[in-house]
Homo-oligomer: A and B are copies of this chain.
């Protein structure tokens, strides 16, 4: 069962969840601790995005040209997962909002298009960014091609090896993709000097991208997650889902999304939590990787977004910006920090968090592919696993609850991961208390 909306139902405004959070802290300057204002961000991003980063108003209008490009794949479908329900034998109703139909295959295109638009409008000529699994990098490459912007992507080296065709996809769109850590930046060279075999991390790639952006006035840094404006853009997912659940004459008791930096869940949950607060509200569950357990084992503190410590400080759940997560197939979940909006929501007990091992996630992903017919990205499979667990709970408790999860992308670039799982070679990464303690000890001072 598919719930479709016509083009006129693409939202005209994004939903800014900042308006609903009482504990959302501003970015701060390292050292002084002074709150970051919009103009402080101008060296790395255009005025419109800098303004969105600090805004607290609930509604932000979506520019016409962005809406026009959204119309190529939005509104995305909402599906009722009847086959999965039957396979589990649950009385629960399971729905999923599917973002894999975008040209780049994931939800990342939602913010890529918006960021490319605002940068083009501001006269910027090049975008530079970091990417893990490559969903973000290829989305930005896609958006850059449509707006005539050059794009350079620092891709985590371990992911580059696992998913070589993501690099080829970026290049097909005309972008330049550089494995990170690289010798193109001081940040990269510093890391390589310490560990020439370093598999890389999102935090290192961010350091490299930010360095390039700061040193060239015609280049902006583009962020694929974590920052407020990114989560704002992703709210199209949640706004459409609210309308589609109404179309299905249903409402979710549980909303589930996978979290790496937090933009996927942030975009899905915001309109459900925000609009309904005070009356009925669903449980929201963040599904993170047990190999990078930011929400379940991290600390809520001010920390850098990158390894080099070159960014403003963000108040977020973090494993420490020097934390090196185990190499993981769900590269998009391999980040030490978490979006301040998602962190604040956890702090305000609006959401819960669950850590999922990747083998469990892949098992759920495989089951989903064989029942619902769509092969999910390994990241999205973490959300599926939690949805299955909730559906099993409903079966045990005899409850007819409604479960909604975000299917953030397809897994057509991740078949090596499924192959590895099917052959029994896939292992779960472990994070020891000792490693974690070491990284957390290197947190910058709090405010």
- Report A's interface with B, CB cutoff 8 A: 1-2, 4, 6-7, 69, 71-72, 79, 83, 101, 103, 105, 142, 145-146, 165, 168-169, 171-174, 366, 369-371, 373-375, 411-413, 415-416, 418-419, 422
Residues of chain B contacted by A171 (CB below 8 angstroms): 418-419, 422
Q: Shortest Cβ distance from A108 into chain B, in angstroms? A: 13
Residues of chain B contacted by A146 (CB below 8 angstroms): 83, 371, 373
Q: A168-B422, A172-B411 are in contact. List 13 more A-B contacts (CB 8 A).
A: A2-B7, A4-B6, A4-B7, A6-B6, A72-B373, A105-B412, A165-B165, A168-B416, A169-B418, A171-B418, A171-B422, A172-B366, A412-B413
Can you list 30 A-B contacts (CB < 8 A)?
A: A1-B71, A2-B71, A2-B72, A4-B6, A6-B6, A101-B101, A103-B373, A105-B412, A145-B369, A145-B370, A145-B373, A146-B371, A146-B373, A165-B165, A165-B412, A165-B415, A168-B415, A169-B412, A169-B415, A169-B418, A171-B418, A171-B422, A172-B375, A172-B415, A172-B418, A172-B422, A173-B369, A174-B370, A412-B412, A412-B413
Assembly of this chain: how many copies?
Answer: 2
Q: How far apart sit A72 and B146, CA to CA, in the bound complex (Å)?
A: 28
Residues of chain B contacted by A373 (CB below 8 angstroms): 69, 72, 103, 142, 145-146
Residues of chain B contacted by A370 (CB below 8 angstroms): 145, 173-174
Q: How far apart sit A375 and B169, CA to CA, in the bound complex (Å)?
A: 8
